[in-house]
Amino acid sequence: MSSHRQSEISIVGVVLCVLAGFGLTNHISFIAFSQSLPRENVRAELIRLQAQEGLTLAHFYRGISFVNFAHRWETPTKESLVEGTGVELEGSITPDGNDIAFNLIRFVVKSSLGIVHRDSGGFQEFPNIIAPYGICWSYDKSNLAMSAQSPPGNRNLILLNRVTKETQQVADKGTVTSQCWSADGKHIVYEADDSIRVYDIDRKESRVLAKGKYPSWSADGQWLAFLDNGTYYAITPSGEGRRVLFKTKKAFSGLWWSPDSRIVAYLSQNTMFERPLIMDVEPVRLRVRRLADGSEDWVTQDFLSYLPNYQWVTNKDLVNTVESSAHSK
């Protein structure tokens, strides 16, 4: 047994002896307690997983950017995905990192939804969907939810079937985060009128679950998270079992759940003790938090002019390709 492991168990033993003195060890398993101790903080874990599996947080705005956990920066690429005249603005990436949907601007004023496969192309354009924003992919990549002008002049929350090209209106002025779909693709969670709602696609009806904003659906399907008055909450999709996940200051995004739903990421402004200190300007940090033990750290910092539509992506090839592209410039 390593000296590090022996020290760890010794510390646990001391803690258990103290607790025993107060009669608090009746339901504590020594083995379970020692094994539950964190071996690494959350950022160290993400650095390891990025190297081993290609796990990252990515978003799309005029190109793919992903977070380098080791260096605390975003690595961007600006290569165009679509040939011809056009600017690819805010978009969303699938969890496998292979498909991207984005707001495509052509000829300065013409806006539409574009979808492309990162390697093979397969470009699709949906000219009837104008100025799409806050795009959310279903897990099987056949459907998307987004806020868009459809018809022109009215911004609504709509669903798009990528195969049939049919659209379905969900709500006026509703919005979604990048993790809005249930695993079976039959429901989405969204925000409208400062409330959290779940929409049943087959029945075409919504239910109000709670007051709040920025809802997201955990990858394991068990929880809906949302922000309300500086506190992140979680409830079940049925609206039951509401619980506090954690409290924070100056947060302004939903929670992005890791593929195993153990770690979440969110955006918040710097606190007064975090550098850099600039008068009248508050830098924004992307923070990660392991829910089991509350281990938290920040992984990138910037002065944002828009809210990135982050997505957890697992794709070693994407990480290597984007890093190679950035280093070659």
pLDDT at 29 exceeding the cut of 50: no
Let me know: does 146 contact 156? Beta carbons within 8 Å: no
Nearest to 126 by CA among 165, 156, 89, 71: 165
The verdict on 108 and 16 lying in the same domain is no
Parent domain of 287: 41-327
The verdict on 24 and 117 lying in the same domain is no
The verdict on 3 and 110 lying in the same domain is no
Confidence of residue 82 (pLDDT cuts 50, 70, 90): low
Higher-pLDDT residue of 37 and 244 is 244
Confidence of residue 297 (pLDDT cuts 50, 70, 90): very high
The verdict on 6 and 135 lying in the same domain is no
The verdict on 58 and 137 lying in the same domain is yes
pLDDT at 59 exceeding the cut of 50: yes
pLDDT digits (tens, 9 = 90+) for 128-171: 899 999 999 999 999 999 999 866 667 899 999 999 999 999 99
Domains of the chain: total: 2
Distance in angstroms between the alpha carbons of the first and the last residue of the chain: 48
pLDDT for the residue numbered 272: 67
The most confident of 54-63, 108-117, 304-313, by mean pLDDT: 54-63
Using DSSP, state whether 1 is helix, strand or coil: coil
Alpha carbons 83 and 252: distance in angstroms, whole number = 35
The verdict on 110 and 25 lying in the same domain is no
Peptide bond into 276 cis (omega under 30): yes
pLDDT at 227 exceeding the cut of 60: yes
Least confident segment among 73-82, 112-121, 210-219: 73-82
pLDDT for the residue numbered 10: 40
The verdict on 120 and 199 lying in the same domain is yes
pLDDT for the residue numbered 9: 38
The verdict on 17 and 75 lying in the same domain is no
Alpha carbons 74 and 313: distance in angstroms, whole number = 14
pLDDT for the residue numbered 287: 97
Confidence of residue 76 (pLDDT cuts 50, 70, 90): confident
The verdict on 30 and 73 lying in the same domain is no
Using DSSP, state whether 161 is helix, strand or coil: strand
What percent of the chain lies above the pLDDT cut of 70?
78
The verdict on 93 and 11 lying in the same domain is no
CATH of the domain at 223: 2.120.10.30
The verdict on 25 and 170 lying in the same domain is no
The verdict on 261 and 197 lying in the same domain is yes
Q: What's the whole-model pTM score?
A: 0.83
* Mean pLDDT, range 95-104, rounded to an integer: 93
